[in-house]
Amino acid sequence: MKTILLSLCMLVGMNVAHAAIEPYALYQDKCAKCHGASGQADNLRGYLYFARDFTNKEWQAKHSDEEILAKINKGPRIMPSYADLTDEEKAALIRVIRQFGRK
């Protein structure tokens, strides 16, 4: 009985660990407070903290994915570090940020 229960718990845990990442929801949770829901940094925190406008095509062209990843990991200036996110979550955030530049 214990073996069955343990196996069941492991299976449930595996499903949670492999759950699909919802990129935009992750962005809303980690980034939108300052960078805005639409990536324009058009909210109070965005103005106060001089958050980047991700819809700015010049900014998009000047910054590589590697540079964005470094900012996610280090948290420049007042931005918190998100180094504890998984590589998949960081890649998802970069995809969302890049999508804002295409609008």
* pLDDT number for residue 77: 86
Phi, psi (5° rounding) for residue 102?
Answer: -90, -5
Q: 97 burial class (0-12, 13-18, 19+ CB within 10 angstroms)? A: buried
* pLDDT number for residue 103: 77
Q: Give dist(CA 17, CA 38) in Å, integer.
A: 28
Q: Please say if the pLDDT value at position 3 is more than 60.
A: no
Count CA atoms closer than 13 A to 31's CA, side-chain side: 29
96's tokens? 């969302």
Q: Give dist(CA 51, CA 43) in Å, integer.
A: 10
* pLDDT number for residue 68: 98
User: Who wins on pLDDT, 38 or 9?
Assistant: 38
Mean pLDDT (the chain) is: 88
Q: What average pLDDT score do residues 48-54 get?
A: 96
Q: What domains does the chain contain, in order, with CATH numbers?
A: 21-101 (1.10.760.10)
